[in-house]
Amino acid sequence: MKLSVRLLSVLLAVTMIFSIFSVVVSAEGEAANVTIKTDVDTVVAGDIIEVTVNVANNYYATSMRWPVLFSNAFFELVEGSVKATDELNALGGSAKCNEAPDNTVYTTTYSSTDYTGVLVQWTAAASATGITPYRQADGMECFTFSLRVKEDVNVSDSGSIVIPEDYPRFYNYILTDMEEPFSPDKVVKCETLVHNFENATVECVTPEILPIEDSGVVLDKENKLIKGVALGTLDNLDSYVYASVGEIAISPAKENRMGTGSKVSLTHNGVTYETYTLVIAGDVNGDAYVDYMDLMLIDWYEAYGVSFSGAQKIAADLTGDGKVNANDKIALDAYLNFECEIDQATGTVVNY
């Protein structure tokens, strides 16, 4: 929508009307929602995170100015990273990204002792035919920048990224209506507008694999074993475990089967922090099911000394006595004849 140049000149005149007659305008219904987003919410020292500033408004802004502050004990700015998004640039106008703004970006609540800031601004371009203001009721990602987590942060320290709500100069005037004829009650001063700021917090954590509550999974941290996963689980363990930070990578024992011997690793930024081995009690061949193939393997182990991995030995030891022998074969046979059950959390037969 275009705001005519004539309207602009009226807008300037309105400034004077305000000062002379103290016209009271209602800002009811108009609000700016500014959301700070980060690409991750957990980090380790040295990580680089991406910050996005999303602005949603339901009025016509001809300019906007947002100081974005970050905890300086936790973060440092990646120089040269502050920029307007392609989406914002596509609106026209001019975006400014100041990486070293003056002290006016700091406020009573957010001082330069604890925070460092960047200042992002946008002004609509005026031309002979008009002006295109910013109005994005659903929000638009306007600015991005990168922050590096300082090397000396400790686990459970956190850093915040905020817009200071007590900053006094987000912009001067906004318009509630673009339709002509223009009138003073279509103009709202910045200080009467409702601002909702959603800030972001990032926490420094220990990289580790963690159990999903009530999933039945059991993580043996000492022996790096994962137990308690249901038979026949395929593809991934997303409903059982998650990473405190980074990614979980799985190397299945067999094709896409989450069977005994599958390796479950936590990696973050190219570093592997820990690797667990999955054990499905009774599943000796690693296909995620318990059947006569497994019984046969235990038989071969007993009779011919077929070699078992550590995980296979634990999976085969259904009596839980630390050995793989004829008793386990009998127990597995009983299970296959529906005479008992296997408790995957403990890895032994029950109701036997």
Q: Which of residues 42-61 bind Ca ion (CB under 5 A)?
A: none
Q: Which of 283, 314, 340, 342 binds Ca ion (CB under 5 A)?
A: 283
Q: Is 31 helix (H, G, I), strand (E, B) or coil?
A: strand
SS3 percent helix, strand, coil of the chain, rounded to 5, is 20, 35, 45
Find the shortest distance in angstroms from Cβ 157 to Ca ion: 45
Q: Which of 135, 168, 148, 185 is nearest to 31 (CA)?
A: 135
Q: Which of 30, 157, 294, 328 binds Ca ion (CB under 5 A)?
A: 294
Q: Which of residues 159-198 bind Ca ion (CB under 5 A)?
A: none
Q: If you search the block for the tokens 């371009």, which residue do you land on?
A: 125
Q: Is 352 helix (H, G, I), strand (E, B) or coil?
A: coil
Q: Which of residues 90-149 bind Ca ion (CB under 5 A)?
A: none
**Displacement of CA 67 from its chain's centroid (Å):** 23
Which of 45/336 has CB closer to Ca ion?
336
Which of 126/230 has CB closer to Ca ion?
230
Contact criterion met (CB below 8 Å) for 189 and 171 = no
Find the shortest distance in angstroms from Cβ 352 to Ca ion: 19
Which of 121/344 has CB closer to Ca ion?
344
Q: Measuring CA to CA, how many Å separate 336 from each of 242, 289, 292, 308, 313?
A: 32, 11, 8, 21, 19
Contact criterion met (CB below 8 Å) for 352 and 330 = no
Of 36-44, 142-150, 189-197, 287-295, the window that binds Ca ion (rule: CB under 5 A) is 287-295
Distance CA 251, CA 257 (A): 9
Of 38-46, 162-170, 239-247, 286-294, the window that binds Ca ion (rule: CB under 5 A) is 286-294
Find the shortest distance in angstroms from Cβ 297 to Ca ion: 8
Amino acid at residue number 32: A
Q: Which of 285, 312, 344, 348 binds Ca ion (CB under 5 A)?
A: 285
Q: Which of 299, 303, 304 is nearest to 316 (CA)?
A: 299
In eight-state DSSP terms, residue 124 is P
Q: Which of 30, 157, 287, 328 binds Ca ion (CB under 5 A)?
A: 287
Find the shortest distance in angstroms from Cβ 309 to Ca ion: 14
Q: Which of 63, 76, 44 is nearest to 122 (CA)?
A: 63
Find the shortest distance in angstroms from Cβ 110 to Ca ion: 59
Q: Which helix (H) or strand (E) element contains residue 209?
A: strand 209-211
Find the shortest distance in angstroms from Cβ 212 to Ca ion: 24
328 binds Ca ion (CB under 5 A): no
Amino acid at residue number 94: S
Q: Which of 171, 209, 205, 176 is nearest to 191 (CA)?
A: 171
Which of 36/288 has CB closer to Ca ion?
288
Q: If you search the block for the tokens 């009650």, which residue do you land on?
A: 185
Which of 121/285 has CB closer to Ca ion?
285
* 228-267 footprint of Ca ion as x/- string (CB under 5 A): ----------------------------------------
Which of 132/285 has CB closer to Ca ion?
285
Q: Is 103 helix (H, G, I), strand (E, B) or coil?
A: helix
Find the shortest distance in angstroms from Cβ 286 to Ca ion: 7
Find the shortest distance in angstroms from Cβ 118 to Ca ion: 57
Contact criterion met (CB below 8 Å) for 205 and 260 = no
Q: Is 329 helix (H, G, I), strand (E, B) or coil?
A: helix
Of 17-25, 224-232, 285-293, 325-333, the window that binds Ca ion (rule: CB under 5 A) is 285-293
Find the shortest distance in angstroms from Cβ 292 to Ca ion: 9
Which of 47/294 has CB closer to Ca ion?
294
Contact criterion met (CB below 8 Å) for 178 and 114 = no
Tell me how many residues contact Ca ion (CB under 5 A): 5
Residues that bind Ca ion (CB under 5 A): 283, 285, 287, 289, 294
